[in-house]
Structure 1
Amino acid sequence: MECGVSPIIGFRFSLYPMADDFVKVIKTALGETDTSNVWMHTDDVSTVIRGKQIHVFNVAKAIALSAAKTGKHIALSGTFSAGCPGDTAGDAYLDKSDEVANIDGTKQYVSSQFALYPMNNPSYMDIIYREVNRAKEEGVFNDTMQYASGIHGDIHDVFAFYEKAFSNARSDNHKHLVMTVSMSINSPSHGGR
């Protein structure tokens, strides 16, 4: 398959519970989440999920929320990618309907940072500024920093922003996109949020 043709989206991430029972927290979060709409593989470093965008973001949020429900400080770091899949292992999941498998309205504060990399797009800075301004308009912008932008708020609002930013940063002429995300949940530094 030619690079940039497949609509498949991928997310490779690592979950870091700040707890002695970190293995249990990770395995429980992965096990409790309905991953039937995505292709998933976990190794000793990270997990990758691939499929339709709506399902990849749904599963990513559900895993983070499941881990957060332990009340333990959780860090998540990962990379969303589109436009150059490199293999076809998850292509069968593109036939799934758009009905999401994980629905949980639990409120959860998240502090995070993201960086957009619109590949081969000479107007990449305009795209990044546009999405940062949209974060400000939507009330999830937290801070400007080197190499990233801070995004915070309820986990549902944060993931909704990330999914929209991911969609908005791609175009028919520039389909290859990478977006990195780092999250901190239940941190003592959040001041009881």
Structure 2
Amino acid sequence: MFSGAQISLYPMTGDFVAVIMSALKALDPYRDRLRIETDDISTLLVGPPELLFPALRDVFTAAARTGVHSVLSAAISRGCPGEPDDAICQSQHLAGPMLPLAERQESALAAVSSAPETDVFSVAQFSLYVMGQDRHMDEIYGCIDFLKASGTFEASKHFATKLSGDTGALFATLEQAFCRFGPPEGHVTIDLTVSANSPSAR
């Protein structure tokens, strides 16, 4: 299994370099457990989802706590057939057989309810893609039902679902959507945009 994310952080300030460089320091506690590579476009994080999503949460929260309008764009993938297996990506989330949908929804809701609080409010829109199986829409509709009960659901949009709430609960919701829906060994991707401190009226 291979799982990872390509992320780009956009602070809307003239001092964007300082905000980005400071936020990236939030990844330091993960560097011995994730493969992290930064270039002039994005940062790649490779590793299991149970580390990947907390790392994304922490880097985004660090930027958002500056008070400037901050946006994180991410392409997140697991099980891509074009990527080689990597031992660093071994995950308890994706071990074992695929449980019935209702059990997976229940486990996902429990995980979100126990998510750590950051005291940082954010909004997100994302799209979940379950690849390569005949009944992929059953998984997507099952995920949508979970999202509507998660406490972070805000609205359905064209091509995406909008979430909002404490950043801890929001990234826990995304982690559960990524891991609980679609076969454990299957190819699943998320297209994600997260925003905090936007000047737009809600």
What TM-score do you get using the length of structure 2 for normalisation? Answer: 0.80
Please name the residue that 1:3 is paired with.
none
Matched, 1:125 2:137: yes
Residue 92 of structure 1: how far off its partner (Å): 5.3
Aligned match for 1:72, one of 63, 68, 73: 68
Matched, 1:116 2:131: no
Residue 121 of structure 1: how far off its partner (Å): 1.8
User: In structure 2, do the counterparts of structure 1 residues 95 and 181 end up closer, same or farther at CA, with 3 Å as the change threshold?
Assistant: closer
Please name the residue that 1:146 is paired with.
158
- Counterpart mapping for 1:1-193 below 5 A: 6=1, 8-33=2-27, 34-36=29-31, 37-84=33-80, 86-87=83-84, 91=86, 93-94=88-89, 105-172=117-184, 175-189=186-200
CA distance in 1, matches of 2:192, 2:172: 13
CA-to-aligned-CA distance 1:17-57 (integer Å, 9 cap, x gap)? 00001111111111233232210111111111001111111
Segments of 5+ residues of structure 2 without an aligned counterpart are 94-114
Residue 107 of structure 1: how far off its partner (Å): 1.1
Which piece of structure 1 moves more, 119-128 or 73-82?
119-128
Conserved? CA contact 1:132–1:141, under 8 Å: no
Residue 124 of structure 1: how far off its partner (Å): 1.8
Question: What's the C-alpha RMSD, in Å, of the aligned pairs?
Answer: 2.3
Residue 171 of structure 1: how far off its partner (Å): 0.9
Conserved? CA contact 2:6–2:74, under 8 Å: yes
Conserved? CA contact 1:141–1:152, under 8 Å: yes
Segments of 5+ residues of structure 1 without an aligned counterpart are 1-5
CA distance in 1, matches of 2:87, 2:78: 16
What TM-score do you get using the length of structure 1 for normalisation? Answer: 0.83
SS in structure 2 at match of 1:61: helix
CA distance in 1, matches of 2:117, 2:151: 19
The aligned length equals 178
Residue 188 of structure 1: how far off its partner (Å): 2.1
SS in structure 2 at match of 1:26: helix
Conserved? CA contact 2:123–2:195, under 8 Å: yes
Runs of 4+ in 1 over 4 A off after TM superposition: 94-98
User: In structure 2, do the counterparts of structure 1 residues 11 and 190 end up closer, same or farther at CA, with 3 Å as the change threshold?
Assistant: farther
